[in-house]
Amino acid sequence: RRQRQMCIRDSSRIAVRSIRRDGIDKVKKMEKASEITEDDLKIAEKKLQDLTDKYIKDIDKLADEKEKEIMAI
């Protein structure tokens, strides 16, 4: 069960990072097309990274809680 829990944790983290990568690609394309400024790009990248960090932390917290719950059974 522990191995399965780690697999779920890892796949969730990968999914969040993939979403971040897609978001960064999108804003880079917008900047290249002159739809946003370079400053806007940097702000968007920072916000995407902050959100990624938050959700990775949430995933780890939930996975740790679930692991403790499983171990208690």
Tens digits of residue pLDDT in 35-68: 999 999 999 999 999 999 999 999 999 989 988 8
The pLDDT-based confidence of 12 (bands split at 50, 70, 90) is: very high
Q: How many CA atoms lie within 13 A of 73 on its CB side?
A: 7
Residue located via tokens 């960090």: 53
DSSP line for the chain:
-HHHHHHHHHHHHHHHHHHHHHHHHHHHHHHHTTSS-HHHHHHHHHHHHHHHHHHHHHHHHHHHHHHHHHHH-
User: Is 6 in contact with 60 (CB distance < 8 Å)?
Assistant: no
